[in-house]
Amino acid sequence: MKISRRAFTASSCGGVAAALMGGGVAAQDGSISDELLGRTDFWTALEAYAYAYPLVTMEYTRRVITNVAEPRGTKAPMGQIGRLREYPNASFRDVTAPNADTLYTYAFFDVGEEPYVLSLPDMGDRYALFPMLDGWTNVFEVPGKRTTGTGAQTYAITGPGWSGELPEGVIEYKSPTSMVWLLGRIYCTGTPEDYAAVHKVQDEVKLVPLSAYGAEYTPPPGKVDPAIDMKTAVREQVNALDAVSYFTLFCELMKNNPPAAADAPILEKLAAIGIVPGQDFDASKLDIILHKRLPQIAFARIMLHFKDSGGDIKDINGWAYTTKTGLYGTDYLQRALITAIGLGANRPQDAVYPTSTKSGGGLISRDYNGSEKYVINFPKGHLPPANGFWSITMYDSGYFFVENPLNRYSISPRQDLKANPDGSTDIYIQHESPGADKESNWLPAPKDKFILMMRLYWPKEGNPSILDGSWVLPAAKKVS
């Protein structure tokens, strides 16, 4: 793990210290923290928690998303395609950080018993991508315009250890785990005409078990489990698990979602606290003092990685972003952090998401506030370099869309941005309209705090590029 004990224990003003010393974690005499920090099993358990976080979170996400009888909105039963038909509005609260650029076509399915066949239609020149995540959140394949083009194509997603014959013309994608999450995105301008065009494409995306391929197939109704919590956010549900429940579920999940070969070194360590792939969790090997205290401390450690990442997270001109997503190798803290704050993230070649919570360009950075006015100036010839598309989305402090008179939640070239006389382009970020002549370039803000997120899909490589740092996103500067 990249984070050092020194960095962990030095964070006296952050969430880690609060986890160690507050909320009932510390013993009454305050000595337990020092004792824990000196114990090898404590540090091993912290590593184990971060290592397991993606797989446990994916399972909870799967339960919630598939706990319906038929596809509807953001949910669809196991093995069935779900289709978002329109962009959410400011009342939407199902997931944080929604987008107004792509319509999702998605499915959770299990390839442990047999493969599933995914058929994609001819999409012409429309931008789309269909990343497939394994149970550990790695994007193991990503057909789409960047990689395979947008012609008609058919894939069989096979599970660990599967071997057999596939029908002619069907390409095999081998999933490292039984659990697979298809999280397709299709670009849409949001006009009624383009909605209709994308809906036609969505309806032609098919997913069936291999045994049903080439035949008429009607999926069975989904099974609804009333015991599944459909109201509490997945992250809150996962974080509320005590260590025994958490690791018990983790070990059960590993039986069908095996770890990578590169994980052998950490798995050798985890055996000391009762975690062995293919076996039930041995709770007797985890000190009882860690059962309730570990999750809070361990999650705080994951979140500390956002500020002390050793380069995994960059912060330039007030924009924080990472190009280490989608494939993580043995960077388990980074994988856990992205799971916590951006589950389902693409590979950087497909998308980068710079996010800004404070204004830049001055001596002091302050939280954005709708009582102020801000401008992002892109010099001539230096608009965001993306082969797919780019946009800047406005969120309130909870990462939800902001109600505004234009019903505009993001801004991009599809708003017919007007350039300045010198060829540069200004984006106006404020609560009140900047005037009719500038309204095409206006991203409406709430009256109080807000957050900005840029999306660069299929960022250009070479110079300039956000992937190698040769293109830098300008600061959102406060103006008088």
- Give the domain ranges of the chain: 5-59+233-313, 78-212, 354-479
Distance from C-alpha of 164 to C-alpha of 168, rounded to nearest angstrom? 13
> What token pair was written down for 181?
């999450």
pLDDT the model gives residue 37: 82
pLDDT the model gives residue 333: 97
Give first-to-last CA distance, the chain, whole Å: 46
pLDDT tens by residue, the chain, 480 residues: 444 444 444 343 344 434 433 333 333 333 346 777 889 999 999 999 999 999 999 999 999 999 999 999 899 999 999 999 999 999 988 778 899 999 999 999 999 999 999 999 999 999 999 999 999 999 999 999 999 999 999 999 999 989 999 999 999 999 999 999 999 999 999 999 999 999 999 999 999 999 999 999 999 999 999 999 999 999 999 999 999 999 999 999 999 999 999 999 999 999 999 999 999 999 999 999 899 899 999 999 999 998 888 879 999 999 999 999 999 999 999 999 999 999 999 999 999 999 999 986 555 678 999 999 999 999 999 999 999 999 999 999 988 999 999 999 999 999 999 999 999 999 999 999 999 999 999 999 999 999 999 999 999 999 999 999 999 999 999 997
DSSP 257: S
pLDDT the model gives residue 78: 98
Q: For residue 129, which amino acid is it?
A: L
pLDDT the model gives residue 364: 66
pLDDT the model gives residue 18: 42
Question: If you write DSSP's letter for every residue of 61-125 in order, what string do you get?
Answer: HHHHHH-SSS-BTTB--TT--EE--S---TT--SSSS--SSEEEEEEEEE-SSS-EEEEE---TT
Distance from C-alpha of 409 to C-alpha of 446, rounded to nearest angstrom? 11
User: Would you call the peptide bond into 464 cis, given omega within 30 degrees of 0 as the criterion?
Assistant: yes
pLDDT the model gives residue 9: 40
pLDDT the model gives residue 311: 78
User: Are the C-beta atoms of residues 153 and 248 closer than 8 Å to each other?
Assistant: no
Helix (H) or strand (E) run with residue 51 in it: helix 40-66
Estimate the crossing angle of helix 294-304 against helix 332-342, to 10 degrees.
Answer: 90
DSSP 470: S
pLDDT the model gives residue 310: 82
Distance from C-alpha of 412 to C-alpha of 414, rounded to nearest angstrom? 5
User: Are the C-beta atoms of residues 56 and 238 closer than 8 Å to each other?
Assistant: yes
Helix (H) or strand (E) run with residue 238 in it: helix 234-239
* Tally of CA atoms within 13 A in the half-sphere of 166 that contains its CB: 20
Distance from C-alpha of 46 to C-alpha of 381, rounded to nearest angstrom? 47
Q: Kindly report the number of other CB atoms within 10 A of residue 200's CB atom.
A: 11
**Fold (CATH) for 354-479:** Jelly Rolls (2.60.120)
Best CA proximity match to 115, nearest among 57, 41, 60, 167: 167
pLDDT the model gives residue 101: 97
DSSP 399: S
pLDDT the model gives residue 177: 98
What would the CATH number be for the domain defined by 78-212?
A: 2.60.40.1610
